[in-house]
Amino acid sequence: MKTAGLIAKKVGMTRMVDAAGVLTAVTLLQIEKQKVTKVLTAERDGYTGFQVGFNTKKEKRLNKSDVARLRKATVEENYASFKEFRADKVDHQLGHEFGVAILEGVKAVDVTGITKGCGFSGAHKRWNSAHGRMSHGSRFHKSPGSLGMRSTPGRTFKNRHQPGQEGNTQVTVQNLDVLDIDTKNNVLAVRGSVPGHRDAFLVIRPSIKVKAAKKVKK
């Protein structure tokens, strides 16, 4: 892979037969049209990398400063979103466009996205903790239990599993096998599920913890 990452949009899930003849669930990822809008250098920015623009909109929907910066970078598209990728060495020039073909030869990827928000949830649903007996008369079913101690220390410790917002957090799923690459439609098929809802933007990076292929029992 010749890039540190790509921006993709989640199309949805389906199933397909892999090379071993096993029917498996896959997620289809549409690689967004994206171009390099900024090159970061250690002398000016403190680190090396590049910035890509994606999610095109009408020009009147953008700030004038962003439009001027895009035109200065020889980018004619009106990108409304940007993402930086750090890299030890940057070989891409301003205006360089990425496609799914750059993933040729990659066996596994790491996908980062925002999980679906579930609103305010109780402690048991949010943290998947065990509950009490559901029989009649127990009087302890799905209560979170005691939260603190007595006068010492006289407070509730941090990170206590309590009710609150569930989901809507950034999650990275590692080692998703790349099963198919459609260069014509710019679509990538990976094994398993990825975080986020349909049409959500995701970040795809080459996996740094590639596992050996599992043997299929016949």
pLDDT in tens, the chain (218 residues): 466 889 999 999 999 987 788 899 999 999 999 999 999 999 999 999 999 999 999 999 999 999 999 999 989 999 999 999 998 888 888 999 998 988 888 899 999 999 999 999 999 999 998 888 899 988 888 888 888 888 888 888 999 999 999 999 999 999 999 999 999 999 999 999 999 999 999 999 999 887 655 555 55
The pLDDT of residue 216 is 52
The pLDDT of residue 109 is 94
CA 5 to chain centroid: 11
Cα–Cα distances (Å) from 210 to 22, 125, 172, in that order, read 20, 32, 15
The pLDDT of residue 215 is 55
The pLDDT of residue 151 is 86
Residue limits of CATH 2.40.30.10 in the chain: 6-117+167-205
CA 74 to chain centroid: 28
The string over 87-105, giving b where at least 16 C-beta atoms fall within 10 Å of a residue's C-beta and e elsewhere, is eeebebebebebebeebee
Please report, in angstroms and rounded to a whole number, the separation of the first and last CA atoms in the chain: 33
The pLDDT of residue 168 is 95
Q: According to CATH, what is the number of the domain 6-117+167-205? A: 2.40.30.10
